[in-house]
Amino acid sequence: PGMAMAAICAYSIRLRMKPLSFLLVTVLLEGGVQGWSQYQPASRRDVFKGAIVAGSTSLVLAPFPSLAAAPPTLQELEKLQKGHARVRYLLDHWDDVTQVCGTVIMSDTERKQVVRTEGGGGTTGCAKTPLRVQEFMGFKSTQDPLYKADKLMVRATPLVDPDDLDGYLEAVEKYKEKADNTALMAYTSSWGEANPNGGKEVIDDYLERTKADVVESEKSLRSVLKYLNLTPLPPLEGKL
């Protein structure tokens, strides 16, 4: 079983298998058919409850250091609150954050095309800054509150009411999916004008997709805070 475990672990990395799926494979591998029959009717909540609470942690936690680690402290959990406040700020000040005005020199053609709000059609205009989204979503610095936030959320699993584990884990999974999408869409938007058949419209299109993913990320992050009994912080003031 040890060699088979290593093979499954390597294969799961190649397939980018979700931890929850890998957890089920591990139970099947180690427990055989009899072990699987015990877990088959169970929900993800039951599997985690069995793995974390009922004494089978030595069986399944080795491939997941974030699960094997101690639950986060209150100071660590505050990062989720601060990160959520920053995401809310990003959405509330979207145009201010994702563009810079007054620094772009416009061509004669651009000045005539006032259909776009490029600084009022004068000698200066606005440039989109999609990559700033990554700063608010924890993808630019290890000091960002949301840097590797999904790992922190997984570590916090034991703090969640067992009856709420299903909803909590779904919120964590969805947050990671949408947050990763924001980083990808923001990066794609930043190259929208340089790519073949690109242009400002392409930048705007991908930036709107980025915003949609940020909206979904905020919803999932807010759910995570609720499951962890963490109160969202008041709206941030000033300019970030």
Single-letter amino acid code for the residue at 124? T
Dihedral sign computed on CA atoms, order 31, 157, 46, 54: positive
Give the pLDDT score at 24: 39
Looking at residue 135, what is its pLDDT? 93
DSSP states of 181-215:
HHHHHHHHHHTTTTSTT--HHHHHHHHHHHHHHHH
Looking at residue 227, its pLDDT comes to 97
Tokens of 31: 């427990």
CB 9 within 8 A of CB 63: yes
Both tokens of 91, joined, read 């959405």
The predicted structure's pLDDT at residue 238: 84
CB atoms under 10 Å from CB of 108, counted, come to: 6
Q: What pLDDT does 61 receive?
A: 47
Q: Which positions of the chain have pLDDT values less than 70? A: 1-68, 103-124, 192-199
Pick from 82, 116, 94, 108: nearest CA to 232 = 82
Tell me the two tokens of residue 207: 């930036």
**pTM of the full structure:** 0.66
